[in-house]
Amino acid sequence: MGKVLKYSFYDLIRSRWSYIYLLFYLALGFVLLFLNSDLSKAVITLMNIIIVLVPLIATIFGTMYFYNSKEFTELLLAQPIKRSDIFLGQYFGVAGSLSLSLVLGLGIPFMAYGLLRSGAVFNFSLLLGIGVFLTLIFTALAFNIAISNENKIKGFGYAVLLWLFMAVIYDGIFLLSLILFEEYPLDTFSIIATALNPIDLSRTLILLKLDISALMGYTGAIFKKFFGTHWGFWISIFVLILWAGLPILRLRYKSIRKDF
């Protein structure tokens, strides 16, 4: 697996798209800090971007990479290499290079503006950690979609739909059910519903760390009580790991059985 991973990774970090992605984050980071040199405020703005853009790019990039390297994959399949190694290697190559772009692209500007001397280090690392998790999760989901769909157009369609569902539609349904069932106690329901969607979970984790929870009144207090404790924090991390782990396992399972 190491060889394939290394190859994919080097292939990707030499590709144009990785640079564009990296440059985008660099520009974003510098512009944000140029406009507002308050690091903790910049973290909030960054959160809005990360939780929407990172999943989108990971899904698109993941499916694109899978389809584009199909011929190379078939070549590899002809070699005496374990199948799971090929696919997992490719997956970690993509996810790794995307995460690297994210961490470097945002890390460099924030370092340059004195991140280590400010109190925002923890919040910022949490943000980056969550960005990396989202990359892992959505790349894995993208690979799953791509491996299950021979048709490129269909695959892309599903991938975009997946992102749309997680980022927008899920919240819409969530909102509707909150309004419809407002007569009932909704605390447990909303905590579970939040935990089930990695984007919502990431958003809530960051918001609570940034003390916007005070805005949320009673609901915020309940969320803080759950997610704000160490226990809740580790549960959220566990859910995120589960979100990344399950698709990876399915990818492995599928790749072994798939008929090329």
Partner 1 sequence: MIKKGVASIVFFLWACSWQISAHTVVVCKTCPVDSVKKGIAIAQASDTVLIQKGTYPEYDIYIDKPLTLKGENYPVIDGQEKGEIIKITSDHVTVDGLFIINVGVSYTTDHAAIRVIKSEQFTIQNNVLERLFFGIYLEKSSHGKVYHNKIIGEAKDEYNSGNGIQLWYSHYVEVSHNHVQGTRDGIYLEFSDHITIQRNTSTKNLRYGLHFMFSDNDVYTQNTFEENGAGVAVMFSRNIKMYDNTFKKNWGPSAYGMLLKEINDAEIVNNTFEENTIAINIEGSNRIRYKDNDFIKNGWAIRVIGACYTNTFSGNNFMNNSFDVSYNGKLNDNQFKSNYWDNYTGYDLDRNGIGDVPYRPVKLFSYIANKTPETIILLRSLFMDIIDFSEKVSPIFTPDNLMDAEPLMKKRQ
Q: Which stretch binds partner 1 (CB under 8 A): 10-18, 80-88, 147-155, 171-179?
A: 171-179
Residue appearing with tokens 């799953």: 144
Site string for partner 1, 73-112 (x = CB under 8 A): ----------------------------------------
CB 208 within 8 A of CB 223: yes
CB 43 within 8 A of CB 127: yes
User: Nearer Cβ to partner 1, position 71 or 182?
Assistant: 182
- Distance, in Å, from the CA atom of 69 to the CA atom of 213, rounded to the nearest integer, reads 45
Q: Which stretch binds partner 1 (CB under 8 A): 48-56, 89-97, 110-118, 147-155?
A: 48-56
Q: Which stretch binds partner 1 (CB under 8 A): 76-84, 86-94, 95-103, 208-216?
A: 208-216
| Residue 206 burial (CB count, 10 A) | 21
User: Nearer Cβ to partner 1, position 110 or 223?
Assistant: 223
Name residues whose C-beta falls within 8 Å of residue 122's C-beta, 6 or more positions apart in sequence: 209
Total residues in contact with partner 1, by rule CB under 8 A: 34
Phi, psi of 241 (to 5 degrees): -60, -40
- Contact residue for partner 1 among 220, 226, 243, 255 (CB under 8 A): 220
123 binds partner 1 (CB under 8 A): no
Q: Read off the DSSP letter of residue 185.
A: -
Q: Which stretch binds partner 1 (CB under 8 A): 47-55, 70-78, 87-95, 140-148?
A: 47-55
CB 100 within 8 A of CB 20: no
188 binds partner 1 (CB under 8 A): no
- Contact residue for partner 1 among 70, 219, 235, 237 (CB under 8 A): 219
Query: 259 in the Ramachandran plot: left (φ > 0), alpha (ψ -120 to 50) or beta?
Result: beta
CB 127 within 8 A of CB 160: no
Torsion of CA 101, 104, 106, 112, to 10 degrees: -160
Which residues make up the interface to partner 1 (CB under 8 A)? 47-48, 51-52, 167-169, 171-172, 174-175, 178-179, 182, 186-187, 190, 194, 200, 203-204, 207, 211-221, 223
